[in-house]
Amino acid sequence: MATRSGRSQRRTEALSRERIVTAAIELLDAAGESGLTFRVLTERLATGPGAIYWHVANKGELVGAATEAVITAALATAPADSPRAEIRAVALGLFEAIEQHPWLATQLSAQLSGNPWGAVTPRIFECVGRQIRALDVPEQDWFTATSALVHYILGAAGQNAANAQVAGSESDRAEFLANAQAEWDRLDPGEYSFLRAVAGQMREHDDREQFLAGIDLVLAGVHALRPKG
């Protein structure tokens, strides 16, 4: 007859940290951080809280592990044929990850500002920074160039995710942008001549193409840092 300790050990082994993190990501995607509770998680995994606490100490550690898992997958891009293409691939991987997991933008911002030595921020900086170095940027500009790219990537991707939450489906987005254009067109032409001029471009823009165009603009500035000749 199996002992209680033997059964507990088998349950703990079956309920791996990976399974817990996967379930946590699903809950975060469905209901955001407020929807991730250990009670809901134990129900989803059909287990008791003790089995979960065996693997993660608290909710903060669990959300951090979920963030790390998503970012690790996002950065696992196929090798590109140039540093510039590699940066675009990394940027697009992060863009899509934040688009698919709207809660991720807040977590990345918190990691970047409050825990730059944790598991996530160094991984992102390393992926981008290696390519900056490969572009023959002078060493004294490595940190500035990498920081500019990382902040653009996370900021623009986070804003896109927030916009998507507000606009909703593709048809809702089209209606939202049409309404925005109409409101910009009504602005005083003397005070808002620029916004009235680009209102149609705002309505017709593609979020992903605009994001990648921004990457190219930053990279053009980075390219200017390279030694002449």
The one-letter amino acid code at 3 reads T
Shortest CA distance to 106 belongs to which of 28, 172, 181, 39? 28
d(CA 207, CA 106): 19
Give kind and range of the element (H or E) at residue 193: helix 193-204
Domain 1-56: give its CATH architecture.
Orthogonal Bundle (1.10)
The tens digit of pLDDT for each residue in 144-160 reads 999 999 999 999 999 98
13, pLDDT greater than 50: no
CA 177/CA 16 separation, integer angstroms = 45
- The pLDDT value recorded for residue 49 is 87
- Measured between its terminal Cα atoms, the distance across the chain in Å is 79
**116: closest CA among 83, 150, 77?**
150
Query: What is the pTM (predicted TM-score) of this model?
Result: 0.86
Contacts for 164-172: CB closer than 8 Å, 24+ residues apart: 164/99, 164/102, 164/207, 165/102
DSSP state, 163?
H
pLDDT for res 10: 42
Average pLDDT, the chain: 90
Q: How far is CA 196 from CA 41, 185, 188, 214, in A?
A: 49, 5, 9, 22
Q: Where are the domains of the chain?
A: 1-56, 79-223
Local structure of 115: helix, strand or coil = coil
Which pLDDT score, from 0 to 100, does residue 2 have?
A: 44
* Sign of the four-CA dihedral 91, 67, 119, 115: positive
69 CB-side CA count, 13 A? 18
Least confident of 5-9, 25-29, 66-70, 210-214: 5-9
Q: Is the pLDDT of residue 168 over 80?
A: no
Domain 79-223 carries which CATH code? 1.10.357.10
pLDDT digits (tens, 9 = 90+) for 84-143: 999 999 999 999 999 999 899 999 999 888 888 888 999 999 999 999 999 999 999 999
21, 62 in Cβ contact below 8 A?
yes
Sequence-separated (6 or more) residues with CB below 8 Å from residue 25: 66, 69, 70, 101
Cα torsion for 109, 110, 114, 120, to the nearest 10°? -80
Same fold, 1-56 and 79-223: no
Output the pLDDT for position 71.
Answer: 97
Task: Compute the C-alpha angle 18/22/26, nearest 5°.
Answer: 170
pLDDT digits (tens, 9 = 90+) for 28-48: 999 999 999 999 999 999 998
